[in-house]
Structure 1
Amino acid sequence: MVSREGEEVVEERRYNKSEGVRCAWQTWQQGGEICPKGTIPIRRSTVDDVLRAKSLYHFGKKQCRSAFLPQSGSSDAPDAVSGNGHEHAIAYMGTSQEVYGAKATINVWDPSIQVVNEFSLSQIWILSGSFDGSDLNSIEAGWQVSPELYGDNRPRLFTYWTSDSYQKTGCYNLLCAGFVQTNSKTVIGAAISPVSQFSGNQYDITILIWKDPKLGNWWMSFGDNTLAGYWPAELFTHLTDHATMVEWGGEVVNTEANGEHTSTQMGSGHFAKLGFRRASYFRNLEIVDVDNSLSSPEDISTHAENPNCYNIMSSFNNDWGTHFYYGGPGNNLQCQ
Structure 2
Amino acid sequence: MTCEEGPLMSLGFKLFVFDIQSPDGDIIDCVLSHQQPAFDNPELKGQKPLNPPERPSGYNLSDETIEDFQLWSMSGESCPQGTVPIRRITEEDILRFGDISTFGRKTIERSIKRAAYKEHEYAIGTLNKGTYFGTQATISLWAPSVEGRNEFSVSQIWLGNRNANGGELNTIEVGWQVYPNMYGGDTHPRFFIYWTRDDYQKTGCYNLVCSGFVQTNSKIVIGASISPVSTYGGEKYVIKLFTWKDPKTGNWWLQYGGNLVGYWPSFLFTNLRSHARYVHFGGEIINSWRKDGLHTSTQMGSGHFAEEGTRKASYFRNLQVVNEHNTLIPAPPLNLHTDNPTCYNIKGGQDQVFGNYFFYGGPGRNQWCP
Alpha-carbon distance between aligned partners in 1 of 2:141 and 2:109, rounded to the nearest angstrom: 24
Deviations 1:54-79 (A, max 9, x none): 4111100002369xxxxxxxxxxxxx
One-letter amino acid of the structure 2 residue matched with residue 119 of structure 1: F
Q: How does 1:110-129 map to 2 (within 5 A)?
A: 110-129=143-162
Aligned CA-pair RMSD: 1.8
Instruction: Tell me the secondary structure at the aligned position of residue 48 of structure 1.
Output: helix
Q: Aligned residue for 1:204?
A: 238
Aligned length: 299
Q: Aligned residue for 1:12?
A: none
Q: Aligned residue for 1:228?
A: 261
Alpha-carbon distance between aligned partners in 2 of 1:299 and 1:274, rounded to the nearest angstrom: 22
Q: Aligned residue for 1:74?
A: none
Alpha-carbon distance between aligned partners in 1 of 2:274 and 2:116, rounded to the nearest angstrom: 27
One-letter amino acid of the structure 2 residue matched with residue 104 of structure 1: A
Q: How does 1:181-196 map to 2 (within 5 A)?
A: 181-196=215-230
Deviations 1:269-292 (A, max 9, x none): 000000011000001000011121
Q: Aligned residue for 1:251?
A: 284
Deviations 1:224-277 (A, max 9, x none): 2x1101111001000000000000000000003342110000000000000011
Q: Aligned residue for 1:314?
A: 348
One-letter amino acid of the structure 2 residue matched with residue 122 of structure 1: S
One-letter amino acid of the structure 2 residue matched with residue 243 of structure 1: A
Please state if 1:135 is matched with 2:179. no
Cα distance 1:107–1:161, how it changes in 2: closer, same or farther (>3 A)?
Answer: same
Aligned-pair distance for 1:130?
Answer: 4.4
Q: Aligned residue for 1:327?
A: 361
Q: Aligned residue for 1:3?
A: none
Cα distance 1:132–1:117, how it changes in 2: closer, same or farther (>3 A)?
Answer: farther
Q: Aligned residue for 1:154?
A: 188
Q: How does 1:1-336 map to 2 (within 5 A)?
A: 23-64=67-108, 85-95=119-129, 97-130=130-163, 133-150=166-183, 151-224=185-258, 226-257=259-290, 258-336=292-370
One-letter amino acid of the structure 2 residue matched with residue 221 of structure 1: Q
One-letter amino acid of the structure 1 residue matched with residue 96 of structure 2: R
Alpha-carbon distance between aligned partners in 1 of 2:240 and 2:116, rounded to the nearest angstrom: 30
One-letter amino acid of the structure 2 residue matched with residue 36 of structure 1: P
Alpha-carbon distance between aligned partners in 1 of 2:261 and 2:70, rounded to the nearest angstrom: 13
Contact 2:109 / 2:119 at 8 angstroms: preserved in 1?
Answer: no
Alpha-carbon distance between aligned partners in 1 of 2:73 and 2:154, rounded to the nearest angstrom: 22
Instruction: Tell me the secondary structure at the aligned position of residue 72 of structure 2.
Output: helix
Structure 1 unaligned regions, length at least 5? 1-21, 67-80
Alpha-carbon distance between aligned partners in 2 of 1:114 and 1:266, rounded to the nearest angstrom: 11
Contact 2:132 / 2:322 at 8 angstroms: preserved in 1?
Answer: yes
Instruction: Tell me the secondary structure at the aligned position of residue 125 of structure 1.
Output: strand
Alpha-carbon distance between aligned partners in 2 of 1:281 and 1:231, rounded to the nearest angstrom: 27
Q: TM-score, normalised by structure 2?
A: 0.78
Alpha-carbon distance between aligned partners in 1 of 2:136 and 2:148, rounded to the nearest angstrom: 31
Deviations 1:174-225 (A, max 9, x none): 000111111000000000000000000000000000001000000000012x
Higher mean Cα deviation, 132-141 or 230-239? 132-141
Cα distance 1:58–1:134, how it changes in 2: closer, same or farther (>3 A)?
Answer: farther
Q: Aligned residue for 1:11?
A: none
Alpha-carbon distance between aligned partners in 2 of 1:92 and 1:62, rounded to the nearest angstrom: 21
Alpha-carbon distance between aligned partners in 2 of 1:138 and 1:236, rounded to the nearest angstrom: 9
Instruction: Tell me the secondary structure at the aligned position of residue 237 of structure 2.
Output: strand
Contact 2:85 / 2:219 at 8 angstroms: preserved in 1?
Answer: yes
Contact 1:64 / 1:165 at 8 angstroms: preserved in 2?
Answer: no
Cα distance 1:92–1:241, how it changes in 2: closer, same or farther (>3 A)?
Answer: same
Contact 1:65 / 1:82 at 8 angstroms: preserved in 2?
Answer: no
Contact 1:24 / 1:195 at 8 angstroms: preserved in 2?
Answer: no
One-letter amino acid of the structure 2 residue matched with residue 200 of structure 1: G
Deviations 1:279-322 (A, max 9, x none): 00001000011121111112210100001000000010011100
One-letter amino acid of the structure 2 residue matched with residue 48 of structure 1: E
Contact 2:333 / 2:356 at 8 angstroms: preserved in 1?
Answer: no
* Misfit runs of 4+, over 3 Å: 81-84, 130-134
Contact 1:104 / 1:282 at 8 angstroms: preserved in 2?
Answer: yes
Contact 1:199 / 1:277 at 8 angstroms: preserved in 2?
Answer: yes
Instruction: Tell me the secondary structure at the aligned position of residue 273 of structure 1.
Output: helix
